[in-house]
Structure 1
Amino acid sequence: MKFGTSGLRGLSVDLKGRASALYATAFGRYLLDAGMARRGDVILIGQDFRDSSPEIAANCADALDDLGFDVGDCGAVPTPALALYGLQEKAACLMVTGSHIPADRNGIKFYRPDGEIDKADEVAITTVATELDRAGFAFEPRGTRPRDVSAECLAVFRERNFNLLPADWLVGLKVGVYQHSTVARDLLGEVLEHFGATVVPFGGSEMFIPVDTEAVSDETVVKLEEVARQHGLDAVVSADGDADRPLVADETGMPLRGDLLGLIAANFLGARSIVTPVTSNSGIEAAGHFSVMRTRVGSPFVIAGMQDTVAAGQTHVAGFEANGGVLTASDFTVNGQVLRALPTRDCFVPILAALALAASRRQPLSTIAAAYHLPFAAADRLENFPVETSARLMAYLRAGPANLAVFLQPIGEVGSVSDIDGLRITLADRRIIHFRPSGNAPEMRCYAEAESEAAAATLLRSGLERIRWWAQAN
């Protein structure tokens, strides 16, 4: 088990049973010892649609009940819905989800009563878990039945989204909803129909399908293109497994980049300060009337950056990641309604912001995307890439400029290097390539920016090929 960019992750078979109960117990004890909760307080649990999630959620419920918490079951619900309900109820939360990673893996995201845990919390929880493990922590499932609060949780999130736009704002738009196995599949259609859009649901699956909105697979793109053409759609929308990362494709079925969706959402909210990771598009600073802070990859770093920005006296503070998930550290007034701060990733705000822009301008999403004039960017990952190999590669590249120059020699000459998170190299010809191991999965990611879509795609392929070459040679 390991904390990564967002939550605890591991193989499903390893997380079931004792391991999930161990970390739930560690979280609960940490809350009690730190004075963030008392015995008898409500603690909420949500889950995604993975086969392993119900068992892991049940293990967590047993462990937290043993500690004296009043456990509430929010069911299969979007992570931002769980987080919002937790903030309203001043309750800690656990979300059982592996997000976008393969179905044989799963994870747990933790929330204090005041919001998502930070890196210091992760260290503290890990320390407690290690101490429990060494003391011979024992666990036997006993089938605790938490109170069902799923309807209440969903109602709070539904109302939040119903207030984002005027009634009938999306009338005239025909939108496909790629349902696959995201927990947002029903609510997305409901929200879009509330605003008058014609909804075409498709692709629902009882088997879990991992959808990475930051690196949409070629197979998924083909599916989106076929459905968009077949039904004459204005857009296709979806989300990852736990619905904290959006997927929006234009009228041709081509996905819009997540950082563009984040930028659209920031403008929609009227943000004055933006916090976003180094992997987001390099053109963001010039794309709006706001200050921009860059961070490492992962919601804890974005949240910390937003908190620092608020502490410095800034208002209208929002953040987003390259995957499109939007976070808010300030309350915003949208459509005459107060949108409460929700400092965790949300897929609904960027989806509705993009569709609202298309409806108000009466322009195709492809035209809107092109008007931002961002550098062309591409991203992908090598799956099932051993963590140990990633670590050795990054150590080699960081060992000295000669190693990096040799590695990149077939691609281009090194201009400058940023080491905020992974290695982000600006080449002498101003193209950008970024190598970054995943924080909590056996994946190696590569990001590329160039002067054209074809050049970015070529640079990305070259970067992935160099990673494969090095792994085979070493």
Structure 2
Amino acid sequence: MPHDPAVLDAVVKAYDIRGLTASQLTPEVVYDLGAAAASIVADDGPFLIGRDMRPSSPDLVDAFARGLQGQGVDVIDLGLASTDLVSYASGELGAPAAMFTASHNPAGYNGIKLCRADAAPVAIDSGLAELRDLVLAGVPAALPEESRGQRTERDLLEPFAAHVRGFIDVDVLGPVRVAVDAGNGMAGHVWPAVVAGLPIETTPLFFELDGTFPNHPANPLEPANLVDLQRVVREGGHALGLAFDGDADRVFAVDEHGRPVASALIGAVVADRLLRAHPGETILHNLICSRVVPETIEAAGGTAVRTRVGHSFIKRRMAETGAIYAVEHSGHFYFRDHHRADSGLVAALVLLEAVADAGVPLSEVVAPYDRYPSSGELNFTVDDPQARVDAVASAFAGRGASDREDGLTVVLDDGWFNLRPSNTEPLLRLNVEGDDDAALSRLRDEVTSHLLAPV
């Protein structure tokens, strides 16, 4: 059936497919996306499908599977899964995969994260645009019944959990108390399996799978969604708290006092830990990460490589450089031995190993890395994002090193900033870091004044 081009343009994003299930990502659209994926993403083997706990996920999985099967492609249904479980399955089985999730979005949304065999990402420039265009042009008719693909089920939770545990030295992991907020998302399904048999005492928050999110949205980036975790950590004498997003591929941490810990600091701790076990390796960091990340990598004897923001860029650079690990400022942590995919669960276990090994709570573990104050990500709604970036670039011309690798980055004697357009909204995202609080305030206020001035 013909589809509205505006709808397809709206749901096909830079890195995934995502939209409202009532009006955009309907079973009819998803069926055709499955049929299109048969020729664009699939290969000679089966196609893997996993899903989160959203009420719409089973019907959308069925529609996508029927679309694939109608083109003669066999489907392996992984059932309930976190995104990193699906990445693991794609890598281990050498098969393309689809994860049905809208991650941290509200209950009315759903989406599809696609990868080729070996967890290779499918983004707008590596398949998603083709997928959209084929659906708009009209997918091929389904094959006769006898030629259609078969659908089978496979449960990989236990082997996946063993895989995650393989990233730490279990003998080093002493007892540690942690509160974990699953936000009624997929961490509630995978975390118990991952920590089974480990000396980790977990206080679970909202582990019941419920895609209506009755307690709070599964979006740990919003401070309001950390309040329950912070209270439990402070009251219960925990060494730290962990919060996962809806599909459990991102993890965020609070220390024993309930204070949020920046993802860059977690990334630095994990990098330090990995380089102890794998000296001399290359580690990537996106250009919005704190300077402490590359400084930590170099101090530990590794090679730090700077990269653009975004998982498709990072995975490509990991393949090119052989990097063992990559850090993003947004709670994504990528591991070469996890098929270069991101895993909040692996990062969480390595962090717990560091805390247990040190024998002190999280605040003391991160203290040596917490040396540069930062603004966090500040968003500005503007009419012409590129004109604003150009205006800021002109204002800082000649005052320090600058580049346009991803937006505008300017490095000064006492700090740096990055200003980059959003991929999906008329927003500019500003990140500022200073040598001290005064330098941070000065630089943030100056950049902001140029952003808000008439162009």
Match of 1:90 in 2: 94
Amino acid at match of 2:354: L
1:396 maps to which of 376, 387, 391: 387
Amino acid at match of 1:451: D
Question: Which moved further from structure 2: 343-352 or 281-290?
Answer: 281-290
Are 1:19 and 2:29 an aligned pair? yes
Are 1:297 and 2:309 an aligned pair? yes
Residues in 1 aligned to 2:205 and 2:250: alpha-carbon distance in whole angstroms = 19
Amino acid at match of 2:309: V
2:369 maps to which of 364, 372, 395: 372
- Cα deviation for residue 456 of structure 1 reads 5.1
Match of 2:7 in 1: none
Match of 1:108 in 2: 112
Q: Secondary structure at the match of 1:175?
A: strand
Q: Secondary structure at the match of 1:106?
A: strand
Match of 1:351 in 2: 348
Q: What per-residue deviation string (whole Å, max 9, x for no partner) do you get for residues 146-172 of structure 1? A: 4221x2x21221111233344475443
Match of 1:318 in 2: 325
User: Which structure 1 residue ranges, 5 or more long, are not aligned?
Assistant: 311-315, 330-339
Q: What per-residue deviation string (whole Å, max 9, x for no partner) do you get for residues 282-323 of structure 1? A: 23222122112212111110111111113xxxxx63222222
Are 1:446 and 2:430 an aligned pair? yes
Residues in 1 aligned to 2:378 and 2:151: alpha-carbon distance in whole angstroms = 39
Q: Secondary structure at the match of 2:374?
A: strand
Q: Give the 3 Å change call, closer, same or farther, for CA 67–171 of structure 1 in structure 2.
A: same
**Which TM-score applies when normalising by structure 2?**
0.82
- Cα deviation for residue 64 of structure 1 reads 0.8
Amino acid at match of 1:130: D
Kept after mapping to 2: 8 A contact 1:73/1:148: yes
Q: Secondary structure at the match of 2:178?
A: strand
Match of 2:51 in 1: 47
- Cα deviation for residue 115 of structure 1 reads 2.0
2:407 maps to which of 391, 406, 422: 422
- Cα deviation for residue 242 of structure 1 reads 1.4
Match of 1:336 in 2: none
Question: Which moved further from structure 2: 88-97 or 219-228?
Answer: 219-228
Q: Give the 3 Å change call, closer, same or farther, for CA 341–190 of structure 1 in structure 2.
A: closer
Kept after mapping to 2: 8 A contact 1:22/1:132: yes
Match of 2:258 in 1: 253
Residues in 2 aligned to 1:465 and 1:59: alpha-carbon distance in whole angstroms = 50
Are 1:243 and 2:248 an aligned pair? yes
- Cα deviation for residue 418 of structure 1 reads 2.9
Q: Give the 3 Å change call, closer, same or farther, for CA 442–14 of structure 1 in structure 2.
A: farther
**Which TM-score applies when normalising by structure 1?**
0.79
Are 1:162 and 2:153 an aligned pair? no
Q: Give the 3 Å change call, closer, same or farther, for CA 6–263 of structure 1 in structure 2.
A: farther
Question: Which moved further from structure 2: 96-105 or 65-74?
Answer: 96-105
Match of 1:332 in 2: none
Q: What per-residue deviation string (whole Å, max 9, x for no partner) do you get for residues 118-175 of structure 1? A: 55x7444422531441247789xx9x994221x2x21221111233344475443211
Residues in 2 aligned to 1:56 and 1:92: alpha-carbon distance in whole angstroms = 18
- Cα deviation for residue 466 of structure 1 reads 7.9
Q: Give the 3 Å change call, closer, same or farther, for CA 6–285 of structure 1 in structure 2.
A: same
Q: Give the 3 Å change call, closer, same or farther, for CA 90–136 of structure 1 in structure 2.
A: closer
1:273 maps to which of 279, 282, 297: 282
User: Which structure 2 residue ranges, 5 or more long, are not aligned?
Assistant: 1-9
- Cα deviation for residue 353 of structure 1 reads 1.3
Kept after mapping to 2: 8 A contact 1:326/1:346: yes
Give me the identity figure in percent. 24
Q: Give the 3 Å change call, closer, same or farther, for CA 118–147 of structure 1 in structure 2.
A: closer
Residues in 1 aligned to 2:309 and 2:418: alpha-carbon distance in whole angstroms = 12
Q: Secondary structure at the match of 1:324?
A: coil
Kept after mapping to 2: 8 A contact 1:168/1:196: no
Residues in 1 aligned to 2:184 and 2:444: alpha-carbon distance in whole angstroms = 28
Kept after mapping to 2: 8 A contact 1:448/1:459: yes
Match of 2:40 in 1: 30
Kept after mapping to 1: 8 A contact 2:285/2:326: yes
Q: Secondary structure at the match of 2:231?
A: helix
Are 1:286 and 2:295 an aligned pair? yes
Are 1:230 and 2:240 an aligned pair? no
Residues in 1 aligned to 2:164 and 2:95: alpha-carbon distance in whole angstroms = 21
Equivalenced residues, count:
429
1:61 maps to which of 51, 54, 65: 65
Q: Give the 3 Å change call, closer, same or farther, for CA 230–189 of structure 1 in structure 2.
A: farther
Q: Give the 3 Å change call, closer, same or farther, for CA 399–457 of structure 1 in structure 2.
A: closer
- Cα deviation for residue 440 of structure 1 reads 4.3
Q: Give the 3 Å change call, closer, same or farther, for CA 255–95 of structure 1 in structure 2.
A: same
* Aligned Cα root-mean-square deviation (Å): 3.4
Match of 2:416 in 1: 432
- Cα deviation for residue 397 of structure 1 reads 1.9
